[in-house]
Amino acid sequence: MSRVVRIHTSSGTTGIPTVIHHTQADLDAWTDLVARSITATGAGKPDIFQNMMTYGMFTGGLGLHYGAERVGMTVIPMGGGNTRRQIQIMKDFGTTVLHITPSYMLHLHAMLAECGVALKDLRLSKAYLGAEPYSEDTRRKIEKLWKIDVYNSYGLSEMNGPGVAFECVHKNGMHVWEDVYGVEVVDPLTGQALEDGRQGEVVFTNLLREATPLLRYRTRDIAAILKGSCPCGRTHRRISRIAGRTDDMLIINGVNVYPSQIESVIMKIPEVGNNYQIFLEKNGALDSLTVKVEISSGMFKGDLAQIDRLKERIRESLRASIIISPRVELHEPGSLPVFEGKAKRVVDERVKI
């Protein structure tokens, strides 16, 4: 521990945070790879970089921050949220490169007009989008709306964070920095390695880490190693866009949430009955989460104020656990769908990739 200079956590695969320790050498190596990723997109010293990813335990903020500084970009460490201020800053400082989640990038566009800002007032030319899945269609839509180049950025806290795989100017898959991250794609059921071009679970080994070394770490992310070479001349193989996950982790506006976390929160509340449902849909560009909960029989006395208080209590307990604030709906006992086999608790009506 005396050589550990920083700690990050991820939400882990079970909903319990995974702690990642970094020595100074670990941080330096990570920073180099992020700097390399940025350089691959053609950005550099003249760029003004607005980092809209959350700073803190989440690796998206600090990871890109140090990499961008190493390249010599001018960094604006905004962090997430406060959309109006973000837009004002983009305009005032002439931001040329953004780092942001795809869903927030769409939301940001919807807010431009409300802020009285037009594209011609901005100098934006690139955005690095990642931390959550998005489709090729979403990339194209964002590029068209903003008239910019969008680069896909992939990483996970267990492998430092962002800067594991990144697109170059050709935007045809993400180069995995294989001199540091050994990559394999395996059959998620048997663990057998699959040949290039076949989709499976991505497995990484970080070859440089001093603290928290992980060998053949199974990401649960589904992608393929792409065949053929890239016109940019880099020999690091590329992986496809992430097609999904082998587990049931939900990514809601970039925040990783497990259905089991929601269940454990609501089941601690005595007024909550046995059944519940997690409902996800798109609200404009953003994801919206509704948790439908049956109240336990005998609890409902027809008192509306009591119902409102209960809703608020459930919402607040969920927010404290999963960071995002869901809409809560209370239902009569026995009114939510019941399944004889495995329960289908999650209804995800967001566009599938």
Phi, psi for 255 (deg, rounded to 5):
-100, 130
Classify residue 209 by burial, with Cβ atoms within 10 Å: 0-12, 13-18, 19+. buried
Q: How far is the CB of 166 from ligand DLL (least distance, A)?
A: 9
Q: Interacting stretch for ligand DLL, rule CB under 6 A, among 149-157, 183-191, 192-200, 284-292?
A: 149-157
Q: How far is the CB of 45 from ligand DLL (least distance, A)?
A: 22
Closest residue (Cβ) to ligand DLL? 130
Query: Of the candidates 245, 257, 262, 273, which one interacts with ligand DLL according to CB under 6 A?
Result: 245
Query: Of the candidates 31, 54, 96, 153, which one interacts with ligand DLL according to CB under 6 A?
Result: 153
How many angstroms separate the CA atoms of 167 and 155, rounded? Answer: 12
How many angstroms separate the CA atoms of 233 and 183, rounded? Answer: 19
- Is residue 152 a contact residue for ligand DLL (CB under 6 A)? yes
How many angstroms separate the CA atoms of 256 and 58, rounded? Answer: 11
Compose the 59-78 pattern: x for residues touching ligand DLL by CB under 6 A, - for all others: xx------------------
Q: How far is the CB of 55 from ligand DLL (least distance, A)?
A: 12
> Footprint of ligand DLL on residues 10-29 (CB under 6 A)?
10
> Footprint of ligand DLL on residues 34-63 (CB under 6 A)?
53, 59-60
- Count the residues in the chain: 353
- Is residue 173 a contact residue for ligand DLL (CB under 6 A)? no
Query: Of the candidates 130, 173, 273, 326, which one interacts with ligand DLL according to CB under 6 A?
Result: 130
- Smaller CB separation from ligand DLL, 91 or 238: 238
Q: With H, G, I as helix, E, B as strand and everything else as coil, classify residue 233.
A: coil
- Smaller CB separation from ligand DLL, 12 or 94: 12
How many angstroms separate the CA atoms of 59 and 70, rounded? Answer: 17
Query: Of the candidates 48, 97, 131, 183, which one interacts with ligand DLL according to CB under 6 A?
Result: 131
Taking a C-beta distance cutoff of 8 angstroms, is the pair 130, 162 a contact? yes
How many angstroms separate the CA atoms of 353 and 242, rounded? Answer: 9
Structure tokens given for 154: 């992939």
Phi, psi for 95 (deg, rounded to 5):
-55, 135
Q: How far is the CB of 164 from ligand DLL (least distance, A)?
A: 8
Per DSSP, 13 falls in state T
Q: How far is the CB of 262 from ligand DLL (least distance, A)?
A: 18
> Footprint of ligand DLL on residues 205-234 (CB under 6 A)?
219, 221
Taking a C-beta distance cutoff of 8 angstroms, is the pair 157, 249 a contact? no
Q: Which residues pair with 330 in a beta bridge?
A: 293
How many angstroms separate the CA atoms of 144 and 72, rounded? Answer: 28
Query: Of the candidates 133, 200, 273, 326, which one interacts with ligand DLL according to CB under 6 A?
Result: 133
Q: Interacting stretch for ligand DLL, rule CB under 6 A, among 156-164, 232-240, 264-272, 282-290?
A: 156-164
- Smaller CB separation from ligand DLL, 31 or 256: 256
Q: How far is the CB of 225 from ligand DLL (least distance, A)?
A: 15
- How far, CA to CA in Å, does 216 sit from each of 13, 182, 187, 206? 15, 8, 13, 8
- Smaller CB separation from ligand DLL, 31 or 277: 31
- Smaller CB separation from ligand DLL, 185 or 328: 185
How many angstroms separate the CA atoms of 303 and 155, rounded? Answer: 49
Classify residue 202 by burial, with Cβ atoms within 10 Å: 0-12, 13-18, 19+. buried
Which residue ranges make up the site for ligand DLL (CB under 6 A)? Answer: 10, 53, 59-60, 130-133, 152-157, 161-162, 219, 221, 242, 245, 256
